[in-house]
Amino acid sequence: MSAYCLLNSLSLFLSLASFFLTAATSKHNGFENVKTYSNDPLFAHKISPFSECLIAMSWNADSFFSIYFLEKYEQYQAIRRKTDDEWNVAVNRFGMAKGQLMIIWTLYDFGRPCTQKEICDDWYENKQTINSATKKLVEEGYIDISPSPENSREKLLVFTEKGKFLAMRTVRKLIEAERNAFNALSEDEQNEAIRITQKYNEILKNEFSKIKGENE
């Protein structure tokens, strides 16, 4: 058995042992005071109120595995929030709003003028956010708007010299940091990260498609 598998098995065993020990010493069917903690401060958390409600409703083997799943789900969400926080901290160092960063990033990454629609599509962002950010960047002299040579009704966002300098001292550093982080993973880890993320996004998209809006 590999060291990785052994550590995972040990972690699962300790989680199960901790759960049953806590449940046995707590009130109301063993769940009133249930708290789950991880050795990593990132994952230190109490079971959510929603989870506690599920726990209080019933106790059987299925309930336990539901609780275990919810704990893993909450750990995953904690990781996602932590990643978002790291991004926000990095972006805030440059004093840029989210929409402005998206525009500067896309123009730098594409290496050519772009339409607002291209930027919206690239980031899955709404038109209002990108339009407001465009006006702000034009006012500050970082980009210009010019008609497309292929379609005069289509407007292109173009870097000014000031904008190019901004991209070099902001977005370029963020892209390099992100690439360095991904490069720190082994090739197998990179492939697995891509595979799992893609699979999760496809499943999530399917689940969201089942939700009906208020007007549906």
145 φ/ψ angles, rounded to the nearest 5 degrees: -115, 130
206 in the same domain as 156? no
pLDDT in tens, 128-169: 999 999 999 999 999 999 998 888 788 999 999 999 999 999
Residue 163 sits in the same domain as residue 204: no
Q: In this predicted structure, which of 107-121, 155-169, 202-216 has the lowest mean pLDDT?
A: 202-216
Domain span at residue 66?
Answer: 3-91
**196, 164: one domain:** no
In a shared domain, residues 48 and 119 = no
What integer best gives the mean pLDDT of the chain? Answer: 77
**CATH of residue 156:** 1.10.10.10
Q: Give pLDDT tens digits for 186-200.
A: 999 999 999 999 999
Q: What is the mean pLDDT of residues 161-182?
A: 94
Burial of 167 (0-12, 13-18, 19+ CB in 10 A): buried
- Residue with the two structure tokens 């046995």: 24
Regarding whether 189 and 138 lie in a shared domain, the answer is no
With respect to residue 213, please indicate whether it lies within any of the assigned structural domains: yes
Once rounded to an integer, what is the mean pLDDT over residues 198-204? 93
pLDDT (0 to 100) of residue 153: 83
Residue 52's pLDDT is 53
Looking at the structure, tell me whether residues 73 and 134 fall in a common domain: no
Instruction: Mark whether 85 and 125 lie in a shared domain.
Output: no
Q: Is position 193 within any domain?
A: yes
Taking the C-alpha atoms of residue 167 and residue 101, their distance in angstroms, rounded to an integer, is 9
Separation CA 40–CA 53 (nearest Å):
26
Burial of 118 (0-12, 13-18, 19+ CB in 10 A): middle
Q: So what's the pLDDT on residue 24? A: 46
Give the residue among 23, 127, 5 at the shortest CA–CA distance from 67: 23
- Lowest-pLDDT range, 60-64, 111-115, 186-190, 208-212? 60-64
Range in 50-59, 96-105, 112-121, 146-155 with the lowest mean pLDDT? 50-59
Band of residue 8 on the pLDDT scale cut at 50, 70, 90: very low
When divided into structural domains, the chain yields a total of 3
21-57 pLDDT, tens per residue? 444 444 444 334 334 434 444 444 445 555 555 555 5
